[in-house]
Amino acid sequence: MRAVVQKVSGASIVINREISREIGVGLVILLGVEESDSFEDIGWLSGKISRLRIFDDAEGVMNLSVCDVNGEIMVVSQFTLHASTKKGNRPSYIKAALPETALTLYETFIGQMELDINKSVVTGEFGAYMQVSLTNDGPVTILIDTKNKE
């Protein structure tokens, strides 16, 4: 699994040009699922993200997690995170999980994230056309890949 985690002061998502959802201070997580990903990856990734100390404490040092600041989380499925640009100019998505696999892991990840932060998570809609707007705070953007576990 690959996740792009962005600390935001606010974010919104429009799904199929109709449904609108938003969050305030928190994290936007773009989540890409690979065919070889497992439920074990979900626990590790959700735990890592929920404990990331990237919010400022009283001294202005990034020392607090999303839970510490009572922040919100938005999770958006993003199969293009597994794009390969090695050959030519048209990306290949061969590593991205098939929709049946990806949907199950995506939904399980959302459930685990809700458990880890003890609140509901705002989501996009798997496979839908979406427009995401956000104000990256810092800016802070972190890439996490369960295959590297860095």
DSSP helix/strand/coil, 21: strand
Structure confidence by residue, pLDDT tens digits, 24-58: 999 999 999 999 999 999 999 999 999 999 999 99
Which CATH number applies to 2-145? 3.50.80.10
Measured CA to CA, the distance from residue 63 to residue 129 in angstroms comes to 35
Q: Is 80 a catalytic residue?
A: yes
Q: What is the pLDDT of residues 50-95, one digit of tens each?
A: 999 999 999 999 999 999 999 999 999 999 998 889 888 999 998 8
Looking at residue 116, its pLDDT comes to 98
How sure is the predictor about 150, in pLDDT bands with cuts at 50, 70 and 90?
A: low
Helix H or strand E segment including 22: strand 19-23
More confident site: 138 or 150: 138
* pTM tops 0.85: yes
**Beta strands 55-56; 2-15: pairing state:** unpaired
| From 80, 104, 135, 141, the catalytic residue | 80
Return the domain boundaries, the chain. 2-145
Q: Is the pLDDT of residue 22 over 70?
A: yes
Q: By the 8 A CB rule, do 124 and 15 touch?
A: yes
